[in-house]
Amino acid sequence: MNRQFISKFLQLGGIPVIGACVLAFACVGWGFAGVAGATTLTALTISGTAQEGKTLTANPGTPGPATDTFDPPTYQWLLCPPAASCANGPTGATLALTSAEVGDTIEVTETVNDNAAGATPPNPAVSTSTPTSVVLPPAPTPLRGSHRCSDRRCKAGR
C-alpha cells in the first residue's frame, strides 16, 4: 500500500494523524520510527541536612521521552530568605551550607535539554524542588574536660 493513499486516521501515541507521515513522526520504509514528543522532567529532590557545615545534593528528575537523548542536567540553587524573594545561588549538583544560608530555605532548579530532532516545547525542560526546612546553625559542641563541678550532687556522681 502506498503511503500517499492512506486516508483514515491512525491513532499513534495518542495523536490522531491523517496519512502515514507528519512532521511529528519519522517515516522509515512503510512504518514509523517513533514520535518526537514534549520534553518532560519528573520532580527532582534534595537530600542532606539543612544545617550549616552540611552539604545538600540535588537528586535529578528523569527526563523523557525515554527514546530521546539529553544533555547532562544543569542545576541552579535558590537561596530563599524569610519574607523575601529567592535569589540565585551557586550552580552544580551539591551545595555546601555556610553561615550565610542560616535561616533560609533552599530550593534547586534542574534544566535538561532534549537533543531529539523535532523535540517539542517545553525544551529545555525545567523542574524545581520543594524547599528544604529552614537551614539551622551548627549543632553546639559539648564541652569536655573544662566543666568544673562544685555542686554536691555532681561530686556524689548523681
CA proximity to 109, closest of 123, 92, 85: 92
Q: Are 127 and 41 in contact (CB under 8 A)?
A: yes
Residue 22 belongs to domain spanning: 3-35
Residue 11: beta bridge partners?
16
For the chain, 158 residues long, give each residue's pLDDT as a single digit of tens.
433 333 333 333 334 433 333 333 333 333 333 455 678 899 999 999 999 999 999 999 999 888 888 999 999 999 999 988 999 999 999 999 999 999 999 999 999 999 887 777 788 999 999 999 999 999 888 877 655 566 555 555 55
Give this prediction's pTM.
Answer: 0.66
Do 84 and 29 lie in one domain? The reply is: no
Radius of gyration (Cα) for the chain, nearest Å?
27
Do 70 and 56 lie in one domain? The reply is: yes
Do 30 and 45 lie in one domain? The reply is: no
Question: Measured between alpha carbons, how far is 68 from 64 in angstroms, rounded to an integer?
Answer: 7
Do 29 and 44 lie in one domain? The reply is: no
Question: Measured between alpha carbons, how far is 114 from 118 in angstroms, rounded to an integer?
Answer: 9
Asked, for residue 151, whether it belongs to a domain, the answer is no
Do 115 and 71 lie in one domain? The reply is: yes
